[in-house]
Structure 1
Amino acid sequence: MTISQSGKPRIAVTLGDPAGIGPELVARLLADEGTAEAADIVLISDERELADAQSDAGVTFALGGPGGPRLHDNGAARPGTFERKAATEAGGRWAMSNLRVALEMADAGEVDAILFAPLNKSSLHMAGMREKDELRWFETILGAESFTCELNVLPTIWTARVTSHVSIAEVAEGITRENVLGAGRLLHTVLRDSGIAAPRIGVCALNPHAGESGRFGRHEIDVIAPAVAELGAEGVDAAGPFPSDTIFLRREEFDGILTMYHDQGQIAMKLIGFDGGVTMAGGLRVPICTPAHGTAFDLVGRRAANTGSIRNAFDLATRIGARRRSDSTLGRSV
């Protein structure tokens, strides 16, 4: 496949789990004329899934032609139909096969970013994914060696996590100086890549009341505060650790907040802006974005799904993909 000559970023798009609302959301996104104006779209699917998606959404759009999305068949054998509104092995296998093609294209430099519609982790594990989540699977496929983590994005605030999909019982052992540094550096870098020249980062404590000077634990004293100081010495504008029950009340002071575990940030982010949230896989060689919500089986076929998150995910993938394309053209590392 030839590299885009339009100057626009090239975005690989997959429809997610076919049992959920992903196909409808992608169809509605691609029916918007502004989508094709912002990026060259490579839609990884097949004609049957695409026709079903347009039927679900009640929209039509042309493939190919000037500025239109181009269909790239993943070449995988598919069942005749997919069961809807349920986690299935077939749906997980299909979603993974499309994503694998997108990752291979990104690794070959054929696309600048990836957007995928919501996945279902039960379907993925039924289909044979051994990793805990899709981020770890992306790491495996791409051979990632650097620190990676999920980032959650709203128009006014980003979060990154030191630990993510682990049990609460395992969180404390994952709060190490190296992990705090890795997550802080990553958040700083992606905020700059998104267009924020001098990101401001607030760092959460782990323990209630930031440990009360060691009365409720010493992670803040022994691990987090020294890591924040080291980030500062490296030129990262980081402050904290601050109690996690109040830091989001101060979110206007920061561009990003570094949390210590999954729900510490996710509960706040979903209360602030559930319909517009984006999840980004950070630390990989290619930006990968998706809506922060799930497959919403209860909304399938009702044309009631909100497109705010997938639109924001597309816009973020396009913005960072464009910067990567520009940096590559100028000979800068990305």
Structure 2
Amino acid sequence: MRIALAIGDAAGIGPELAARIVADADANAGDLIVIGDRRLLAEGARIAGVAADLPVIGVDDLSRPLPSGSVLLDLGNCDPAGVARGGSSDAAGRASLQNFAAALLMGKAGIADAVAFTPFNKHSMRLARPSYVDEIGFVNAVTGATRSGREFNVLDEVWNARVTSHIPLSKVAETITTDRILQSLLLTDEVMTAAGIADPRIGVAALNPHAGDGGNFGHEDDEVIAPAIEAARAQGLKVTGPVPSDTVFVRAIKGGEFDAVMTMYHDQGQIAMKLIGFDRGVTLIAGYPFPIVTPAHGTAFDIAGQGIADTGATFNALALGRKLARLHPRPPATGEARADAARAIAAQVAPEHAGE
């Protein structure tokens, strides 16, 4: 079992988290392929006060079966001395994109069974790649996926799915449609079932206060969300709603009524999940042949370099990635797939491709 772990933004807590994970025997269960610059991992280890020594491999080594145990794929792409801690930068964004692309290409080839990353900073990534929108779009571009995945947040036994994600709040009402909500419900049921949760119970959050209050506060809940719920029920899903969003998480987490909450937009779910378990929550990008996981918190620029970053969510992310990969094993990478991945990764880190 191998997990490709991409080091995230160099100006945040990502290098420290990666170093702590490498040094933690429990967190490092199963072989890791840590991806990034060896100088950045060494800086993370210095900040954390741990030893994070790993055998170092180069891109060409991916063409052959790797030795057992964890290794560091040194891309030599980010000298920490050239990155100002605690702020966005083109250099950090470029390295994050290259690390993530390498991890995804290893997942696609079967060199890695799952992909993980310590937190990225989207502003940094957009400085390096202006076309960058979010992780899902990048996954599709790098892997050539024909089906777009979705993000889920996982906190203990409760999942949060969402219909829209990284769009302005002003566009949410016009973006949610009955079909989009139905497809999100079907994918949520599919992903959770594949994760070993049989017949997941999904509570659907309303868009408007008091679920629209019979039309007094908007008509989307009655005219857009409710029909999607009925259509999902007709296909055998266990769905409840629309439930006012100020109580749906109470019913899920305190009442144990739902296995998942589906929200209409990003912060409708993220605020609740992070408030309840900021240092435990995991983001899962599902719908691809391999799981993609990361801690649900961000780069924490405010505490970067202080040596106090908590690995709880990163540990949980790796554990979820391993669990999902074990539930759905794939055949090992062929020699041809390894060679193709090595060539593609080498192209990603070439200077002429830096801004693509």
TM over 0.5: yes
Aligned counterparts of 2:243 and 2:151: Cα–Cα separation in 1:
21
Aligned counterparts of 2:78 and 2:17: Cα–Cα separation in 1:
24
**Cα deviation, residue 292, structure 1:** 1.2
Aligned-residue CA RMSD in angstroms?
A: 2.1
Contact 1:186 1:282 in 2 (8 A): no
Query: In terms of mean alpha carbon deviation, does 197-206 or 132-141 score higher?
Result: 132-141
Contact 2:110 2:331 in 1 (8 A): no
Partner residue, 2:16: 24
Aligned counterparts of 1:109 and 1:68: Cα–Cα separation in 2:
17
Aligned-residue sequence identity (percent) comes to: 46
Aligned counterparts of 1:75 and 1:106: Cα–Cα separation in 2:
21
Classify 1:263/1:238 alpha carbon distance in 2 versus 1 (closer, same or farther; 3 Å).
same
Alignment of 1:280-299 (within 5 A): 280-299=284-303
Q: Which runs of 4+ in 1 moved over 4 A?
A: 64-67, 75-80
Classify 1:119/1:130 alpha carbon distance in 2 versus 1 (closer, same or farther; 3 Å).
same
Partner residue, 1:35: 27
Partner residue, 1:53: 44
Secondary structure of the equivalent of 1:34? Answer: coil
Instruction: Give the AA of the match of 1:250.
Output: R
Q: Deviations over 1:101-142 (max 9, x none)?
A: 111111112212111001111110110141322222222222
Contact 2:42 2:52 in 1 (8 A): no
Partner residue, 1:5: none
Contact 1:148 1:281 in 2 (8 A): yes
Using the size of structure 1 for normalisation, the TM-score is 0.89
Aligned counterparts of 1:230 and 1:291: Cα–Cα separation in 2:
33
Instruction: Give the AA of the match of 2:266.
Output: H
Aligned counterparts of 1:287 and 1:277: Cα–Cα separation in 2:
16
Q: Deviations over 1:263-316 (max 9, x none)?
A: 111111111111111112232332111111111122122111111111111111
Pairing partner for 1:10 from 2, 8, 18:
2
Q: Deviations over 1:36-71 (max 9, x none)?
A: 33x221111232222222112111144259853111
Partner residue, 2:72: 71
Alignment of 1:189-208 (within 5 A): 189-208=190-209
Contact 1:204 1:244 in 2 (8 A): yes
Aligned counterparts of 1:23 and 1:223: Cα–Cα separation in 2:
44
Contact 2:136 2:148 in 1 (8 A): no
Secondary structure of the equivalent of 1:35? Answer: coil
Partner residue, 2:91: 90
Secondary structure of the equivalent of 1:281? Answer: strand
Pairing partner for 2:305 from 301, 304, 315:
301
Contact 1:103 1:141 in 2 (8 A): yes
Using the size of structure 2 for normalisation, the TM-score is 0.84
Aligned counterparts of 1:78 and 1:190: Cα–Cα separation in 2:
39
Secondary structure of the equivalent of 1:150? Answer: strand
Query: In terms of mean alpha carbon deviation, does 245-254 or 136-145 score higher?
Result: 136-145
Matched residue count:
319
Secondary structure of the equivalent of 1:284? Answer: coil
